[in-house]
Structure 1
Amino acid sequence: MSLQRRHLLAVAAALPLAARAHHGWSSFDPDRPIYLEGTVRKVRWQNPHAELELELPADLKLPASLAQRAVPAQTSPVDGKALLAKTVLPTRKDRTWEIELAPLTRMQAWQVPEIKPGAVLSVVGFTLREEKGDAVLRAEYLFVDGKAYALRSGPA
């Protein structure tokens, strides 16, 4: 085996699992928005996008007022109210989820404060199709300290 190949294998083995198992956006189901909330356990504030490990409570419930939450306008044509109105809880029962946020430049454009372990937040986004594979959610809306952030594109 070449020295270069051994080096690449060693680098890949040292990467966190999330970095090795990155999912393309087409892997997610845009027709079934999911709601999650919980406590942040781990944070990776880096590109290609920020990531959180979110621990859910055992009794996760869909907030009755979710469809009435105000969401900010963004440059992508997203009907936020309709998306929130059809949001459901996941069918899988995992208590820990990986949340894929936006690239850091977009997080900065929205002025999302850097999230730290221990923070409590909620998120609406999309899981892998048919919720197969990893417990991963691509965030569409992030709700932190009473403020909503749209993560698909920049602020309008």
Structure 2
Amino acid sequence: MPLPRRAFVASSLGLGLGFALPARAHHGWSSFDQERPLYLEGRATRVMWRNPHGELELELPEKPALPADLKQRALPKQSASVDGPALLAKAQLPTRRDRKWLVELAPLTRLSAWGVEEIKTGTQLGVLGFTFTGEKGDAVLRAEYLFVDGKVYGLRSSPA
């Protein structure tokens, strides 16, 4: 039985609008250089606490630096096999000079499992993670570890 004309027009319009809305790209791990962990530290200037994963805009200081104790920091165990101490040992600053970076965190359910409270604008924090191979494209960091308020959270998987 054919749809009544109004229902057909409404459903067609809805489908048309759906295709016209901009789609936000979601990145898989393959485009990130997992052999070159980067450490960023700064102030959250914008926070998007939503799915598919939390995000924040991190403003770096004029002269970023690696913390002197970074290689000795204790890291929590995760359910996924992650060699955190090796990542800390290889951590470096980005070569690009962007002052603002988009940091992709974990899905909200995983952040909740770790006990991460919603990060507020103005919070000082550090992240260890990966950017695009060759630091090409946007200044995006996919966080592996989050350092906030004296606590460390592993973001690749759930707590072990």
**Fold agreement, TM-score > 0.5:** yes
2:75 equivalent to 1:81:
no
Give identity over the alignment, percent: 66
- Across the two proteins, how many residue pairs are aligned to each other? 149
Decide which structure has greater strand share.
1
1:11 alignment partner, one of 21, 27, 38: 21
User: Aligned-pair RMSD on alpha carbons?
Assistant: 1.3
CA distance in 2 between partners of 1:64 and 1:75 (Å): 28
Give the CA deviation at 1:115: 0.2
> How big is the shift at 1:64?
1.7
C-alpha distance in 1 between matches for 2:111 and 2:39: 20
Question: Equivalents in 2 of 1:116, 1:95: separation in Å?
Answer: 19
Considering only CA atoms, is the larger Rg found in Structure 1 or Structure 2?
2
| Residue matched to 2:42 | 38
Residue 35 of structure 2 aligns to a residue whose secondary structure is strand
| Structure 2 counterpart of 1:134 | 138
- What is the alpha-carbon distance in structure 1 between the residues aligned to residue 16 and residue 95 of structure 2? 41
Letter in 2 for 1:71: L
Unaligned ranges ≥5, structure 1: 13-18
- Secondary structure of 1:122's aligned partner: strand
**1:49 has 2:59 as partner:** no
Q: How far apart are 1:11 and its partner, in Å?
A: 2.6
Q: Offset at 1:8?
A: 2.1
Alpha-carbon displacement from aligned partner over 1:88-141 (angstroms, at most 9, x marks no partner)? 000100000000000011000000011010100000000011110010000000
Q: What pairs up with 1:67-146 in 2 under 5 angstroms?
A: 67-146=71-150
Counterpart Cα distance in 2 of 1:116 and 1:35: 20
Q: Look up the equivalent residue of 2:152 and give its one-letter code.
A: A
